[in-house]
Structure 1
Amino acid sequence: MVTHNRSFAGLTRSELAALVPELLLCGHLIDRSGMPHTIGAFGREGMTQVAIEEWQVSSPVYTRRMQDALGFRGDGVETIFKGLQLDIGAPPQFLDFRFRVHDRDHGEFWLDHCGALADVEPLGGEYVRAMCHDIEDPTFDATALATNAHAQVRPIHRPPREPADRVPVCAWRVTIDPSHEPPPVPRNADIVQASVAASVPLSPIDPAEEGASDYAGPLLSDIRFADFSRSALIRIAEEVCLQHHLLTMGFLIAIRERVDEERAREIGRKQFAGVAGLTSERIRSVLGLSDDAESLATVLDLHPALNPRQYVGSRIDAVDDTVTLILDRRCGGVADRVWPSLLTPENLDPLDALVRGVSPYYECQVIAATADELAVRILRGDDAASEATEVALTRISTGSNFAFADRGIPLPLTVV
């Protein structure tokens, strides 16, 4: 028997540097997974409102966590821009943010490429306006609010694009001014702030290790994750996984306000399943894994649905062709009613989608369930399962096959 319980601590520095941007991108795909089902339940306008609410309550919490983890707390535009570079709302290159800093209180950013726009432009102008106007206006301000209550993010130009191939696709101005009235605290922000996820302690960073242990220096044109130390990358990976759970928390809070608990859990499982399958595929690919039981155990060990371990208690055992997952039902992820809480003896659909991202031949079987633990055996069957509808819908996103590029040494961005 081989027990997998090291999570990101089991990876090398170079493996972590390759995995972290994948985790950021997969966090962005959470919305691509959830929104088709939200549209089905509430229509386009209802989907828009859910998206606004989920990002408003989650992004300030996880933004401050990342600032504290990497030591770049501050109250100026540089701090806001650094936070965006480490945010699942702005995965590097897929949403290609470029920055200009004029002074502490003034700056601009623009997107040379926007994968999110590429996903919605084929749906027509109403969906583009919903994302680039209705959703971005309040959620950009909410993210900036984590740094300075008097920060405002306002468009210079934005889609719908005129002409249709206009680049940059959008541009925004950030201004900090004491005369700016802070936006009201979003409804339900207190729920997220009081969650286990908001305050769970994660792995410490060792400042003596080779590589950067923080982001306290100048704002860089790009983050090159290979420049961070191994322990810093472990902490970044854990924080990014926590961002997944916090965004899902905001999503489920908004859904639960609109439907009963049974229907909310149904929508939540569909969102979970869609992104879980694609995330498994991308983890397997970036680490060059196969589809055997050992590879499956490794994917489970690193999957954001089951991380960080301080928040989602689990153990993964691999014996021959069989993998066993034991989920601690007393963990923070269950208490916060996010992804782990949606796995029950009666419904393992998201876990089925997750393991079939490694191989369509895997199937999950409950072997024990108590108030404290859920034990699931994962076996290789004789027949390949069809791809889950939820995964197929998420795969429509251009993020499903997006490839990251090495951009070389990043440049420090100084005041112009």
Structure 2
Amino acid sequence: MLDITLLRRDLDGVLQRLQARKTPQPFLDVTRFQALEAERKQLQTATEDLQARRNSLSKAIGMAKGKGEDASALMAEVGGIGDALKASAERLDALQAEMHELLMHLPNLPQADVPLGADEAGNVEVRRWGTPRAFDFTPKDHVDLGEPLGLDFETGAKLSGSRFSFLRGPVARLHRALAQFMLDVQTLEHGYTECYSPYIVNREVLEGTGQLPKFKEDMFWVLRGGDTAASEQYLISTSEISLTNSVREQVLDASQLPIKLTAHSPCFRSEAGSAGRDTRGMIRQHQFDKVEMVQIVHPEQSNAALEAMVGHAEAILQKLELPYRVVALCTGDMGFGAAKTYDLEVWLPAQNTYREISSCSNCEAFQARRMQTRFKNAQGKNELVHTLNGSGLAVGRALVAVLENHQQADGSITVPVALQPYLGGLKVLKA
């Protein structure tokens, strides 16, 4: 959530920065915002005048009673002022609730160095690692490679519908090995604390990290038997939600920062891409696994933490011997809560292109303001923390990349050296 004082102080500047995200600026009803602000100011001025008048009358009543004079008229006026103050307070609460609703739909403001652009065409490549392999045979895609190894889309569709998969045998073992490998690297080498968090969360938790209210239709809702729609719960679309909210409504000590958390979890997303795109295979599924990284840091350290987090995701790809590139997302392609984002895109031979496998974002104080997460700064005052999140990595897409990049002409898969201990020393994966 944006700071309301920023909008009050520099509305034009905020609108200009929002305009960079998407043209035309669709996020804020400016006329409504200005009307609410004008009424709020009027109400606050009138309230202050009423309070001053009540204080003056209270003194006059005391003086009148001290002189034995009749103060009934003054007391009646004070009673009327009390009723007016109550009505003003109720209206002010209603105004603030409506203003809060407006703010909840505003995305974060991009940092000044974020590339300008309307969509992914405006993203800027930062660097590449590794060289795509030159095959002496026609490489297969992960579907054709995976089916003999136990990748079963027919059973997944039979059980749950389209965009679900069923893994068995060697490919299921590879999927598990990848997740364990990623967790070990992030905890043992990069200092994250491993967590196991709920997969079902309450509405206010999703509001805290920005999935609600804007993306409600993209979530899987949960309604238990006998419950009503009032008891809103949702399946997580990423464990960023539960990890970040683990510090909601807390005032942390500065010595606790940075807090670095990681978790392996399934993720559930109903918006699994537009019709006709990525309908084949595991690239875009309604249910997929991910190892998530979250950091809660001092505001002065968040940009450095973002660069480090990107490196933590890169380390996985390098150990898996997978060529990739790092891309700085432009203003029009960043997520709702991000102030700056880097994507890691892994090379997929069958598609002859790079595809996203990790997204690392600095959300600055955007989520912290929603969650009311603060720390005691050097002056002893409460200050909002900064939050960051990133994939370290998407397990299913890593599986796709390993299958395609390490395939052999006979359909077998050479296991990367770093992954072999997680497969009992197995060097080649075959049906």
Into which bin does the TM-score normalised by the smaller protein fall?
Answer: under 0.3
TM value normalised by structure 1: 0.21
Structure number with greater Rg is: 2
Structure number having the greater strand percentage: 2
More helix by share: 1
TM-score by length of 2: 0.21
Q: Which has the higher contact order (CA 8 A, sep 6+)?
A: 1
